[in-house]
Structure 1
Amino acid sequence: MSHLPINVPRLADAIVRELEASILDGVYKPGDRLPPERQLADEFGVSRASLREAIKQLSARGMVDSRQGGGTFVTDRLERSFSGPWEELLGQHVDLRDDVLEFRRMLEGEVAALAAVRATDADRTRLAQLFAELEASYATGDLVLQSTADVAFHSALADAAHNVLLAHLTTSLLGMLQSNIHDNIANLFNIKPVASDLLAQHRAIWHAIDGRDPARARAAAETHLDFVANTLAAMRVEARRVERATRRLAAQ
């Protein structure tokens, strides 16, 4: 009797798969430093030589960056492969921001609905903490803190959807838009009632997810992004009116 050969994966390849899974799942995020070599080898129950070979493979794929004497860090390759070209275009073509907001509405509506169904207790604990930080940031008046807290909350929503592609696409999009989000918040906060509206919208998203209501979560996310898009559009129209009126006055 003949048998087909059994392909036993090399130890280093198995380590690569485990580390890649941790990166895909967001356990290790871009910029994070991997645990020290000795610690990782002990956790996997492998030799440091096998671990080094796995790190070399990940480095060759562009997933990590090993720095002499400084450790090994997760790269932003997965995010940059999408956002890199668009980030520059977004800065040069302001009209693209409307398309990006429309895309965010479609993407984050689905993210919120999935998170309402799939979020674990750990996800809900994390979201509760991040919403509390977002709420606290609104009280400070610090625009950098507010935009950072906003991005962190929306990134955690994407993680809670438990879809790897959605999570990385959302993270990439939010990273690309972080300066844009900061500018949006700065502009929106010039209108006092807007701050309380934005916070109430984030609260509605969080409560719908915590209540495991996907339809309400989707509607809350879409309502939030509709509000941002419509308010910014109205502000642009008003700015053009002011500019025209100022030019007319100067021409007299």
Structure 2
Amino acid sequence: MSKPISNFQVPRISGAVAASLERRILEGSLKPGDRLPAERELAIELGVSRPSLREAIQKLASKGLVQSRQGGGTYVTDRLESTFLDPWQDMMGTHPNLREDLLEFRHMLEGQAAEWAAERATDADLTRLTQAFDAMNSAFDADDLNRQSSTDIAFHQAIGEATHNIVIGHLSAALLRLMHDNIRLSLEELKTIPAASSALKSQHAAIHDAILEHRPVEARSAAEAHIDFVRESLAQSLLSASRRETAERRLQADFSKSFTS
């Protein structure tokens, strides 16, 4: 009779469950801030016992991917993005030139993302992209600046996720969060430029349509043209803001001189 292989171990169920949930976080099915389904529901969905599920969630918690909150519930953290985002967020305020470097990188990233999305997007991806596109157009039509910036980010993130490249998906999310204030600033400044809103809508439509019709070369070109427009607009908005600040200082200085003379 042969002896059993002593060093062979059956993988723990909790490990497989943890890997399954981790994959959902990586691919973006579970996003930062999302609450995991109730323990009973999730155990049934995954076909495992509740003790195995608890052990799996603990594994994710030890990696910092999920955390329990007061009042109940387990939530996905933003660790995958914040580890990249936090140091850069602080430096953006003290090193304005970083904005241009980030936009240059975004030009490269989003051009590639649009190309791959056009090649790889599934029907479900295209449905999500169109939903994001429609929500963005609705925000622009309503002249709602907060919704415009949030839906603009959601649209570009949907493209990143449609590449089916996990790294691009998370890098895109981190960069868009980092650029959030600049996107809002750019949109606010663009309101003073005639036809700027319609230009943005046309650019987004060109990206959307090229991806929807699986035209990768056109998708890349449209995405890069859009980022070029954003770069130029942001540069103009920062210049305008600087001019306004200078004019305000001069006015204040004139006022002070006249008051003391």
Class of the TM-score when normalised by the shorter of the 2 chains: over 0.9
5+ long unaligned stretches in structure 1 = none
Number of equivalent positions: 252
1:159-204 per-residue CA deviation (whole Å, 9 max, x = no partner) reads 1010000000100111122122111111122213111111110000
Task: Return closer, same or farther for 1:190/1:17 CA change in 2, 3 Å cut-off.
Answer: same
5+ long unaligned stretches in structure 2 = none
Equivalent residue number for residue 116 of structure 1:
118
Alignment equivalent of 1:217, drawn from 210, 216, 219: 219
Equivalent residue number for residue 152 of structure 2:
150
Task: Return closer, same or farther for 1:235/1:66 CA change in 2, 3 Å cut-off.
Answer: closer
Aligned residue identity for 1:186: E
With the length of structure 1 as denominator, give the TM-score of the two structures: 0.93
Secondary structure at the aligned position of 1:191 is classed as: coil
Equivalent residue number for residue 188 of structure 2:
186
1:204-233 per-residue CA deviation (whole Å, 9 max, x = no partner) reads 000110111111000000000001111222
Alignment equivalent of 1:45, drawn from 44, 47, 54: 47
Distance 1:202 1:44 in 2: 38
Alignment equivalent of 1:28, drawn from 27, 30, 34: 30
Distance 2:178 2:156 in 1: 13
1:69 shift after superposition: 4.3
RMSD in angstroms over aligned alpha carbons?
2.2
Identity level (%): 49
Equivalent residue number for residue 130 of structure 1:
132
Equivalent residue number for residue 172 of structure 1:
174
Aligned residue identity for 2:103: L
Distance 1:66 1:236 in 2: 41
Distance 1:184 1:238 in 2: 11
Task: Return closer, same or farther for 1:67/1:244 CA change in 2, 3 Å cut-off.
Answer: closer
Alignment equivalent of 2:143, drawn from 116, 141, 144: 141
Distance 2:211 2:59 in 1: 39
Which stretch shifts more, 190-199 or 163-172? 190-199
Secondary structure at the aligned position of 1:17 is classed as: helix
Equivalent residue number for residue 93 of structure 1:
95
Equivalent residue number for residue 12 of structure 1:
14
Alignment of 1:194-213 (within 5 A): 194-213=196-215
With the length of structure 2 as denominator, give the TM-score of the two structures: 0.90
1:98-157 per-residue CA deviation (whole Å, 9 max, x = no partner) reads 111111101100000000000000111111111111111001111101001001101100
Task: Return closer, same or farther for 1:233/1:68 CA change in 2, 3 Å cut-off.
Answer: closer
